[in-house]
Each structure stands twice: as structure tokens, then as C-alpha cells.
């Protein structure tokens, strides 16, 4: 049986600022678009440090997951984009608070620039049980 992709949208995460969905469910996987530290209510950047911005990004991810009654335990892969790899240790301290072992697979890359000049963006893939 084929499962058609389904767009997921919630007010608990920032609305898309381009032609994309907050997430797409397909079969037993949920593909979350990259989240940046935007407050969903104001659409303004939250925080000036990588720690504060990571906290907001994780709250946005949590909002999308909750739209499908999922949590961080369902995330199996993340891709992290950092403006400065020197922020990696501070990022890790904040990031690991959201997860319990076994931690998801992860890639982390430094990029020249992110949307709205934020310090961090995280995209993820979750398993729908």
C-alpha cells in the first residue's frame, strides 16, 4: 500500500518563510524542514547566543513533532548547520538536553550564511510509530 506525502502544519512552530512545508509525513517517516530560532508568535529571531538560539530551534522542532503526537525520542537523524564551528561545544551542551540515548544520527556542518543571519539551523527526520 502506498502512502501519499502529507504536509504537516502547526502554529507551535514558525510558519514557512518560503515555498516549503514545516514537515512532510510519508509512510512511517516525518521529514522536518530546517528550523531556525524564530518565535512562532512574532516571527522574530530569539536569542543572540548559539545556546539561546538552539533552545528556540528545539522548541520549534518539538512543536512540529507534537502536531503528529511525536517527541524527540522519535527523531532518528538530524542535520545541523552552524554559522561558526567554534560554537560546536556550546551547541552540543544545549542540544543534548533534548535527547536521551540512543541519540539520533547527526551531521554537523559550518555554513557561510543561514536565513536571517541566525547562528544555527536544524533539520530532522523522525520515525512515526
Selection from 78, 80, 82, 121 nearest residue 103 by Cα: 78
For residue 78, tell me if it sits in a domain: yes
In a domain, residue 48? The reply is yes
Predicted pLDDT of residue 29: 97
Total domains present in the chain: 1
Q: What is the reported pLDDT for 1?
A: 45
Residue in this structure with the C-alpha cell 551542551, named with its chain if needed = 93
CATH code at 101?
3.30.1330.40
| pLDDT score, position 82 | 98
Residue 13 placed within a domain: yes
> 113 pairs with which residues across the strands?
none
Inside any domain, residue 10: yes
Domain assignment of residue 20, yes or no: yes
Does a structural domain hold residue 97? yes
- Segments of the chain with pLDDT less than 50: 1
DSSP 3-state of 24: strand
CA separation for the pair 35, 22 (Å, rounded): 8
Q: Which residues contact 117 (CB under 8 A, 6 or more apart)?
A: 83
- The range of the structural domain enclosing residue 37 comes to 6-127
Residue 1 lies inside a defined structural domain of this protein:
no
Amino acid at each position: 500500500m502506498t502512502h501519499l506525502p502529507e504536509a504537516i502544519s502547526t502554529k507551535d512552530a514558525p510558519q514557512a518563510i518560503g515555498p516549503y512545508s514545516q514537515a512532510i509525513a510519508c509512510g512511517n517517516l516525518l521529514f522536518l524542514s530546517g528550523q531556525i530560532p524564530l518565535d512562532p508568535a512574532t516571527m522574530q529571531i530569539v536569542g543572540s547566543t548559539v545556546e539561546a538560539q538552539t533552545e528556540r530551534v528545539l522548541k520549534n522542532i518539538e512543536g512540529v513533532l507534537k502536531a503528529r503526537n511525536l517527541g524527540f525520542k522519535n527523531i532518528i537523524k538530524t542535520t545541523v548547520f552552524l554559522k561558526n564551528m567554534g560554537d560546536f561545544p556550546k551547541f552540543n551542551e544545549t542540544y543534548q538536553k533534548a535527547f536521551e540515548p540512543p541519540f539520533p544520527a547527526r551531521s554537523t556542518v559550518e555554513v557561510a550564511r543561514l536565513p536571517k543571519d541566525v547562528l544555527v539551523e536544524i533539520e530532522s527526520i523522525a520515525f512515526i510509530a
